[in-house]
Amino acid sequence: MKQNIAIVYGGYQSEAEVSARSKDGLMTMIDSQRYNLIPVRISRETWVAQYEGGEYPILRDDFSFADNDGRKVTFAMAYITIHGVPGENGLMPAYFEMIGMKHSTCPALTGAMTFDKFVCNSYLRSFGINVADSVRIRPGQTPDPAAIVARLGLPLFVKPSAAGSSYGITKVKSAEGILPAVAEARKESPDVIIEAFMDGTELTCGLYKTASRTVVLPLTEVVSHNEFFDYEAKYTPGKTDEITPARIPDPVAQSVKKVAAEVYELMNMKGIARIDFIVKKDGTPYVLEINTTPGQTATSFIPQQIRAAGMREADVFTEVIDDILQNG
């Protein structure tokens, strides 16, 4: 008998629209002959299961619902594809951990740490992982542009400390641009991180781990036609060249993959993840960001990398889901 898998999508931030597209991708990439896939949309107002043409409120004490005939429908696990709050910041994993339901992404603490860019960078730096120098601006604080420039130089990036999908990010080329960029970032997150600019090749590395093996996928080189890899470049066809495998020497590629696998272990990650890098001209990899619920549309990085590895998306998702069902 096929087990019910909840495809949990939506969320509370601007990324909700991207999450809906990832849900659509997962519904086609996960083997529906093996599992019953039931979308569950999460918003601040409602949690609803989309089942047999209707929508049914989720009972939050055990994440079940009653169908049109009043029969209780339960899930074997939840595949979380919420980008942003509450999926990536640890809240949904914490909920599932409290009710004892298996889920696809990292533990709650890992989600909270990786979602806060400043906290994540500080943690990785303590283990000798290369990350950009940065300054954190807390709610109510007004940064001193001159002091910021003196420390980080120009250009620099101003980002929401807790958001995804490149919303609210500004590349700043003058001290006068810092305060407006901070205001823009605060539309997505009250905490703001200001990072030094790093010149180099942008790469992204997908990977996953099961009880039996760790799989590091081919790297993708990201060449934005915009000023940087912003939301428009990420989601508008023709705005970015995504080259898989990346056009870099094999020793550099192996170095990036080694760091990615090390970061995966250091952060106690689970399931499919993606780690973004800048590789400087001397070949040194710097971690840019960790994505614990990476996009899963047909054109997203992870499916591209799976195909470049000579694998089928359905086989990878079956491997990951079966491992979670068997091992938690």
Structure tokens at 207: 């990977």
Lowest mean pLDDT among 27-31, 39-43, 88-92, 187-191: 187-191
Q: Which residue is listed with tokens 């020497």?
A: 249
Residue 20 sits in a domain of what CATH number?
A: 3.40.50.20
Asked whether the beta carbons of 88 and 111 are under 8 A apart, the reply is yes
Same domain, 46 and 116: no
CA angle, 77 then 291 then 297, to 5°:
70
Please say which residue of 156, 174, 196 terminates a domain: 196
CA dihedral 181, 184, 186, 189 (to 10 degrees): -110
Same domain, 26 and 85: yes
Separation CA 198–CA 209 (nearest Å): 30
How many residues are there in the chain? 328
On the question of pLDDT at 71 being above 50, the answer is yes
DSSP 217-261: PPPEEEEESSSSS-HHHHHSTTSEEEESS-SS-HHHHHHHHHHHH
Please say which residue of 63, 87, 104 terminates a domain: 104
* pLDDT level of residue 68 (50, 70, 90 thresholds): very high
Same domain, 122 and 151: no
Separation CA 204–CA 183 (nearest Å): 28
Dump pLDDT digits (tens) for 146-199.
999 999 999 999 999 876 556 789 999 999 999 999 999 998 889 999 999 999
Same domain, 322 and 210: yes
Same domain, 92 and 206: no
Same domain, 99 and 159: no
Same domain, 25 and 141: no
On the question of pLDDT at 231 being above 80, the answer is no
pLDDT at 56: 98
- Give buried/exposed letters for 149-187 (b at 16+ CB in 10 A, else e): beebeebbbbbbbbbbbbbbbbbbeebebbbebbebbbe
Asked whether the beta carbons of 36 and 309 are under 8 A apart, the reply is no
Per the DSSP assignment, residues forming a β-bridge with 241 are 223
Dump pLDDT digits (tens) for 111-156.
999 999 999 999 999 999 999 999 999 999 999 999 999 999 999 9
Give the phi and the psi of residue 309 in degrees, each rounded to 5.
-80, 0
Q: How far is CA 41 from the centre of its chain?
A: 18
pLDDT at 74: 98
Same domain, 249 and 235: yes
Q: Is the N-terminal amide bond of 155 cis, ω within 30° of 0? A: yes
As for how many domains the chain has, the answer is: 3
Residue 253 sits in a domain of what CATH number?
A: 3.30.470.20
Show the domain range for 36: 3-104
Structure tokens at 69: 């005939």
On the question of pLDDT at 219 being above 90, the answer is yes
- Distance linking the first and last C-alpha atoms of the chain: 20
Same domain, 125 and 166: no
Same domain, 305 and 244: yes
Answer positive or negative: Cα dihedral of 301, 306, 312, 315: negative
Neighbours of 286 (CB within 10 A): 18
Asked whether the beta carbons of 137 and 291 are under 8 A apart, the reply is no
Separation CA 150–CA 169 (nearest Å): 21
Neighbours of 265 (CB within 10 A): 10
Asked whether the beta carbons of 185 and 192 are under 8 A apart, the reply is yes
CA angle, 118 then 122 then 124, to 5°:
115
pLDDT at 224: 77
Same domain, 188 and 257: no
Q: Considering just the CA atoms, what is the radius of gyration of the chain in Å?
A: 20
Separation CA 37–CA 23 (nearest Å): 10
Please say which residue of 196, 211, 242 terminates a domain: 196
How far is the CA of 18 from the CAs of 25, 81, 217, in angstroms?
A: 11, 9, 23
Report the pLDDT averaged over residues 225-241.
Answer: 60
Same domain, 141 and 122: no
Asked whether the beta carbons of 65 and 56 are under 8 A apart, the reply is yes
